[in-house]
Each structure stands twice: as structure tokens, then as C-alpha cells.
Amino acid sequence: MAERVEIEHVTMKVSSREPEHVRQQLEQWLATKVDHASDVTVSDLEGSEANGMSSDTTLFRARWHDAEGDHDERLVARIAPDVHDVPVFPKYDLQGQFDVIRAVAALTKVPVPRPWWCEPRDDLLGAPFFVMSRVEGIVPPDVMPYPFGDNWLYDAGVDNQRKLQEATVAAIAALHEVPDAVERLPFLEKDKPGDTHLRRHVANTRAWYDMVAREGAPSTLVERAFDWLDANWPRHESAAVLSWGDSRIGNVLYRDFEPAALLDWEMAGLGPRELDVAWLVYAHRVFQDITGALGLPGMPHFLQPAEVATQYESLTGYAVRDLRWFMVYGAVQWGIVFLRTGARQVHFGEREWPEDRDEIMHNRIHLETLLDDITE
């Protein structure tokens, strides 16, 4: 076991929606979605304890009677954030998220929740939403980060940790094998100009950062990293695949150390395979570095870049290239997320802006170190 370190547990507010209003609206809406439904009730409403800081996630139980008999379903509503609650992303395509989950379910063996309905209107809950089945499983915690110790993954031992790593890499590899992803999933194409999928991907990320900067959180470090990315663009870009986008273990429900469902598809897109591979290893690096800064051992053996790349190649035959570049790109995106969630904390009165906005980025030191290491 790791040495226990007492750190204040901070719960960040993500929504101003009233649960009872959400329950009533879901109940009325559900009665319109099921043919010849009667005795429709929605109950047991609760916020998700899973990780995530973008969309609102509401768990609930729905009961109804129809021609097939009585139904009792445990469901999840993913609701786009209220525009007044400082959303992480510039826009939320809930229909796109719903459609990509359906595509993954239809075209692969990658486990995802069953998608039920998508509601594009914003007059019911204040924003579009979709409903999917609730999947049983456990998630590696973000708060406190799993490398801190005293949680199921840390205590599982090296063999089970490796089992989880290999199963997660295999799920990502299977996701990338969706045939003709560009033609099948055109709604995932990024809308900013660029002559390749990666160029358009980065252009969208830059536009996202520009919005965050305009609204009070400019970062000299993020801008420096964008300059480095432009100056060191990969010489080779693989053919575009379906990219999960937020491919970290904190977005996976596990059972017996294997994925039971891949969650959180806000960042899905089309692009090189390295986007997901690098994001997977960088997400762990963020938590491992925080752990090390506190003097804890963490999990330094876990999700190491070279090992993950080797595992991925063994499954797909594709040799990962320019992984360091893609890790810098992942670090930039993480930095933007931290800038935005910091702005949300300021909005809800949970903290004040630091004079140097870069201080609000939890991955600041690692991004600085990463850039220093490759520019020396």
C-alpha cells in the first residue's frame, strides 16, 4: 500500500440544473418515446460518481408498461451543459455522440452502452440530451487519482494492472478497425480548414483554445506548445480512423479488469491512430506526475509509452510514429481542459483566478518539462 497522504477532496460543481425538474421532464418526455406506454415513472435520480467534467450525467430508473409488458430499466441521460455553466467545449453535438455510439455498437465488438433515444430539442432540459443503458462496472478514480493508492486498481497488483492495460489497448485497436470510417462517419469530420485530418483536428483545438483565452484564460504555455507543434509537424500521417478522442482509462467501466463499456465520446473524430494511443499514455502520465510530486510511489510501471506502442503494433500491425509529438498535442488539450474547468470553478465561486493563468493547469509542470526536454 502507498503511504497515505491527507489531501483535501474538492468536489467541483458542474451544473446548476435542479434534479426534481430534470426528473419531471424526463418522465413526461419518456411517455412520448415509447409506443402505447402507460404508467411511466422516472425515479432514483442521481448524479454520476464516475469521472468527467464536461456533460451532465444523470442516472435514473425508468418504469413503464407497453404491449410487450412491464419494463424496468436503469438508464443514463447525457445532457449538454447549460451555456451559463462555463461549458468545457465550444459546442456539444449530442446527436453526433449518440450516432457514434450506435456505429461502434453496430460495426465493432467494442463494448459501449446501449443507446436508446436522442433528443435534439433544448426546451425540455435546457439543452439536447440522449439516453443510454446503465452498464455495471467500476472506473479508475480521478479524485483522488488512482496512482495515489487506496483504490481497487492500485491495490489490484501488477498482473491485473497489466491485464487491464492490455485489454484497454485491444479495445482501442478494435475501434480503429472500423472499415471506411471517413465515409461511414462523415459527421465526425472537424469543421476548421486544413489539408489533412490532423491539420483540421489541430485547427479545431486552436479555435477551442482561442475561445477559452477570449473568455479570461489565456496561457503563454499553451501558445508556446502550439508554436512547437507547428514547427515540428509529423512527417507521416496515418490514414484517418475513428478516433475515440478521450481514450483514457478513467472513461472506461471495467469488470474483471476488462472493459465493460467505453464512455464519453465528446471528443470523437477522424484522425491518425496516434491520437488515441498518445492520449491513453499521457492521461496516466498526468496523474503519475502529480503522485510523484507528492512523494508517493504511484504506478510508474503502468501504461508506459513504448510498451503500449508495442502492444498496439502486435494487435494491428501498425507501428506507432511520432508518439512524442502526439503526447505534446495531448498535453495541450489537457491544458485547455484545465483552463476551462478552472474558469468554471471561478464562475461558481469555488476559487479565484491566479495572476498567472498557467497556474490553474494541473499538468503545467509536465507540459513545461516535456517542451524543455525536446527543445534543448
Q: Pick the closest to residue 52 from 142, 144, 168 (CA basis).
A: 142
Catalytic positions, written as ranges:
246
Residue reference for cell 512524442: 324
Amino acid 62 reads A
Q: Pick the closest to residue 1 from 158, 159, 161, 154 (CA basis).
A: 154
Q: How is 289-352 classified by DSSP, letter by letter?
A: HHHHHTT----TTSS-HHHHHHHHHHHHSPPP--HHHHHHHHHHHHHHHHHHHHHHHHHTTS--
The neighbour count for residue 126, using CB atoms within 10 Å, is 21
Is 361 within 8 Å of 221 (Cβ atoms)? Answer: yes
Backbone angles phi, psi at 253, to 5 degrees: -90, 130
Amino acid 37 reads A
CA distance 261 to 250: 11
Residue 158 per-residue DSSP state: H
